[in-house]
Amino acid sequence: MLERDGYLEIEEIERIPGFPGREALSRKKVAILECAQEIPCDPCEAACPRGAITVGSRITNLPAIDPERCTGCGTCVARCPGLAIFVIDLTKPDHDVVTMPYEYLPLPEAGQEVACLDRRGAMLGSGRVKRISTAKANDRTAVVTVEVPKGLGMEVRAIRVNGRVLAGELEGVKEPSKEGLLPQGPEDPDDMLICRCEEVTRKEIIEAIREGAVTVDAVKRRTRAGMGLCQGRNCGKTVSRLIAEELGKPVSSVPPASKRPPVRPVKLSVFAAGEDVPDDDK
| Binding site residues, ligand SF4, CB under 6 A | 31, 33, 35, 41-44, 47-48, 50, 52-53, 55, 63, 70-76, 80-82, 84-85, 87
DSSP secondary structure string for all residues of 65-104: E-TTT-----TTGGG-TT--EEEEE---SSEEEEEEEE--
Question: Is residue 212 classed exposed, middle or buried when 0-12, 13-18 and 19+ CB atoms within 10 A define those classes?
Answer: exposed
Q: Provide the minimum distance between the beta carbon of 274 and ligand SF4 in the complex, in angstroms, as a whole number.
A: 28
How far apart (Å, rounded) are the C-alpha atoms in residues 184 and 274? 46
DSSP letter, residue 186: -
Residue (43 or 176) nearer to ligand SF4, CB:
43
Q: Provide the minimum distance between the beta carbon of 42 and ligand SF4 in the complex, in angstroms, as a whole number.
A: 5
Q: Provide the minimum distance between the beta carbon of 26 and ligand SF4 in the complex, in angstroms, as a whole number.
A: 17
Residue (17 or 163) nearer to ligand SF4, CB:
17
Using CA atoms, how far residue 23 sits from 27, 69, 91, 277, in Å, is 7, 15, 11, 38
DSSP letter, residue 2: H
Q: Provide the minimum distance between the beta carbon of 69 and ligand SF4 in the complex, in angstroms, as a whole number.
A: 7
Q: Which residues pair with 99 in a beta bridge?
A: 87, 145
Residue (81 or 185) nearer to ligand SF4, CB:
81
User: Measured in whole angstroms, how far is the alpha carbon of residue 155 from the centre of its chain?
Assistant: 15
How far apart (Å, rounded) are the C-alpha atoms in residues 208 and 239? 11
Radius of gyration of the chain (CA): 20
Q: Provide the minimum distance between the beta carbon of 71 and ligand SF4 in the complex, in angstroms, as a whole number.
A: 5
Q: Provide the minimum distance between the beta carbon of 156 and ligand SF4 in the complex, in angstroms, as a whole number.
A: 17
Residue (56 or 172) nearer to ligand SF4, CB:
56
Question: Is residue 47 classed exposed, middle or buried when 0-12, 13-18 and 19+ CB atoms within 10 A define those classes?
Answer: middle
Residue (25 or 242) nearer to ligand SF4, CB:
25
In a 3-state reduction of DSSP, which class is residue 18? Answer: coil
Residue (59 or 122) nearer to ligand SF4, CB:
59
Q: Provide the minimum distance between the beta carbon of 45 and ligand SF4 in the complex, in angstroms, as a whole number.
A: 7
Residue (70 or 100) nearer to ligand SF4, CB:
70
How far apart (Å, rounded) are the C-alpha atoms in residues 17 and 40? 16
